[in-house]
Amino acid sequence: MAGATSALFIMDIKGHCLLCRDYRGDVSSLQAERFFSKLLDTEGDIDAHGPVAYDSGVAYLFIPHNNIYLMTAARQNCNAASLLVFLHRLVDVFRYYFEELEEESLRDNFVVVYELLDEMMDFGYPQYTEANILGEFIKTDAYRMELTQRPPMAVTNAVSWRSEGIFYKKNEVFLDVVEHVNLLVNSNGQILRSDLVGALKMRTYLSGMPECKLGLNDRVLLEAQGKSIKGRAIDLDDVKFHQCVRLARFESDRTISFIPPDGSFDLMTYRLSTKVKPLIWVEARVEKHARSRVEVLVKARSQFRERSSATNVVIEVPTPYDATNPRIKTSMGSAKYAPEKDAMLWNIKSFPGNKECMLGAEFKLPSIISEEESADRKAPISLKFEIPYFTVSGIQVRHLKVIEKSGYQPLPWVRYITMAGEYELRII
């Protein structure tokens, strides 16, 4: 097992220790303050430094949040990734208790902070990090405390992310398959970057301790079962699961089996570094007339199937920083000039597939050019959009089964949506 952390510190922006919890007695708060002061003196802006540093035989890991820094220190070799995740979980827990995590809220609730630190880490090893579970036996109001505290079932059994005794009159499961398309195109129309980031987002409102089984159109699974592949199958790769998924089961037979947390969570995330055809292609032509005016002609074309429609489309077209008196016409949607962004914002509520639309604009330019005038900006055209009932990867939920000993029949809801991530076209 990797070495544990020696101590946990919460520092202010000047490097003074607000709170600390010493787990092993080999790193003092004075050492932590000296390290932090040295870091501030050498780096100037501590946020520009990486989250891991080494000084005088001690490894320090820290993250910023509002006007404080959360930091662990260890003399022995430690799992840096695990401790950084723990610090982010610690932020989530504090925000669950105090609404907002900052220096003032820590000073007002230092007793609760120490209680949480004692429960969340034992002898330098992370323990319980689920806020809803900690909330069952660490109460912020004294009158809510019971005389005899009994650890919740989630602490004493293997399912630490779910409590027993949950009950709903109407049992429902909502599953959203959300994919973000990242695209970067250069001025010659060549695709420089193309990848897909997806997530299976769940909201569960189920009674008891339900066992869920999810089936996808996974090529490896279908071939292993000897089933004929109807339609498109995908190769699941570079995936990350929520801790509730039984990884050994998935590795052995590709079955996604789990007992879900109550409420919202990300069941699975995945990334596909594959060539993605641009869903919406934009071309622009700019003509300047003797520094008196500029004309911009923009053509947008949807390149997905006709039965789908992109919604909430926003096309941001850069304009000269000194442009004035805009005159804009569109064949679809509406457009306006946003001088604070030096851009035109073209809004299209619904953009059907395999359609083309145009935008024409004319701007006045000043006749006098400043000596300090910078060269024309080469800002890209950026897009935001959503395409419901559609995924680029072709991922499909084949079945979602819920088994619970009481025998209730839940209502599963599955929805697909594709959204623009970092979607830019450098064509001006």
CATH class of 172-274+393-420: mainly beta
At residue 38, the 3 state secondary structure works out as: helix
Do 102 and 66 contact (CB within 8 A), yes or no?
Answer: yes
Give the pair of three-digit tokens for residue 118: 């004692």
CATH 2.60.40.1170 domain locations along the chain: 172-274+393-420, 280-388
Architecture of 7-156 per CATH? 2-Layer Sandwich (3.30)
Overall pTM > 0.85: no
Identity of residue 254: R
Architecture of 280-388 per CATH? Sandwich (2.60)
Q: CA Rg, the chain, in Å?
A: 27
Do 331 and 293 contact (CB within 8 A), yes or no?
Answer: no
**What is the CB-side half-sphere exposure of residue 59 using CA atoms within 13 A?**
17
Please state, in angstroms and rounded to a whole number, the distance separating the CA atoms of residues 358 and 216: 40
CATH 3.30.450.60 domain locations along the chain: 7-156
Kindly give the confidence (pLDDT) of every residue in the chain, 428 residues in length, as a single tens digit, with 9 standing for 90 and above: 455 788 889 888 778 888 888 888 888 888 888 888 887 776 555 555 678 888 888 888 888 888 888 888 888 888 888 888 888 888 888 888 888 888 888 887 778 888 888 888 888 888 878 877 777 777 665 323 343 444 554 554 567 788 888 999 999 999 999 999 999 998 888 888 888 999 999 999 999 999 999 988 877 665 655 555 555 667 766 789 998 998 888 887 778 999 999 999 999 999 887 788 899 999 998 888 777 788 899 999 999 998 999 999 999 999 888 888 889 999 999 999 998 888 899 999 999 999 999 999 998 887 655 444 444 556 899 999 999 999 998 888 988 999 988 888 888 899 999 999 999 998 65
